[in-house]
Amino acid sequence: MYKYQDLGLTNIDEMMAKAYREGYAIPAFNFISIEQYSGIIDAISELKSPVMLLVSPNLLRQLGGTIIGRISQSGVDRMKEMGLNPEISLHLDHGMKYEDCVEAINYGFSSVMIDGSALSFEDNIALTKKVVDYAHSRGVSVEGELGVLSGAEEEGEHANDSSKYTDPKKVEEFVRRTDVDCLAISIGTSHGLVKMKADKNGNLPELKYEILKEIEKNVPNFPIVLHGSSALIPKYMKMINDYGGNIPNSVGIPEEQVAKVAKMAVCKVNIASDGWVTALGLTRKILAENPASIDSRVFTLKVRPALKEVYINKIKLLGSENKLK
């Protein structure tokens, strides 16, 4: 068991307050492999950016809290060795149960997300408040969710067509009654590989900026979170399909829309799929070109620098470069 302070990790409250004041968003990157993790640390070290490392309950179960805690600590130590003052948060992404969040907190996560968005409003409040009470007593921050994003989280399934947008009129009550530290909302992004549907002319819709503006008015200076924000980089989506994959009709979120909300009340932007499709596309290509290889380093050594470039682009998009003290 760990305390996040012992691992050198940062509480997100101060990170997000600064992001809100200065009009940028903190990149929140899911990682499921050491190459993705290393690419993230490479990128934030070069651009001197804060970061939130997102770990799903599945990955926590797969690797265990001790390994994940030590992995995150290695990034902190590496940046300190470079003379930097790191701001790295280890965050449980989409904890669905109270027990998920308790386990993460006890292993040194500095923040957790409890996702009660599929519940009724009252049940969501009750579950979120229960997690908040446990977390705050240990100095850990909590992200809630109000409004339901369409699509699948982590399983790689295609998104469905419907998304329940967050009702801005309910946000103030939710925040007040739960004492949550930040809130994920639904304004048109989506999990999965079909994040938006084009109209008959091929034009993609805009995110619901008016919902975000109303929330910002109703709950001023409160940090908002955007999930499902990957662009699904066309080069790597094509690479997947060219080398044996079968992912037709993928549509990501236009990066200019993500950049716009990062200057508003959105202080944290979750990005998972862009890291996954980059790694998968390159892995498929390299293995196809090296069919006799039995050493996984034939692709891992090439995946890491490509991932670094993806994360560098996201950091610049969100405006978080050179924000470390």
Q: Which residues are catalytic?
A: 93
Q: Name residue, tokens 């969710």.
A: 145
Which tokens is 114 given? 């409890």
Two structure tokens written together for 39:
């690419």
Two structure tokens written together for 175: 């925040």
Please check whether residue 109 is in contact with residue 92, taking contact to mean a CB–CB distance below 8 angstroms: yes
- Mark residue 289 as left, alpha or beta (left: phi above 0; alpha: psi -120 to 50; beta: remaining): alpha
CA-to-CA separations, 138 to 5, 60, 131, in angstroms, rounded: 11, 20, 11
Helix (H) or strand (E) holding 256: helix 255-262
Strand, helix or coil at 316? helix
Strand, coil or helix: what is 150?
A: coil
CB count, 10 Å around CB of 220?
Answer: 9
**107, amino acid identity:** Y
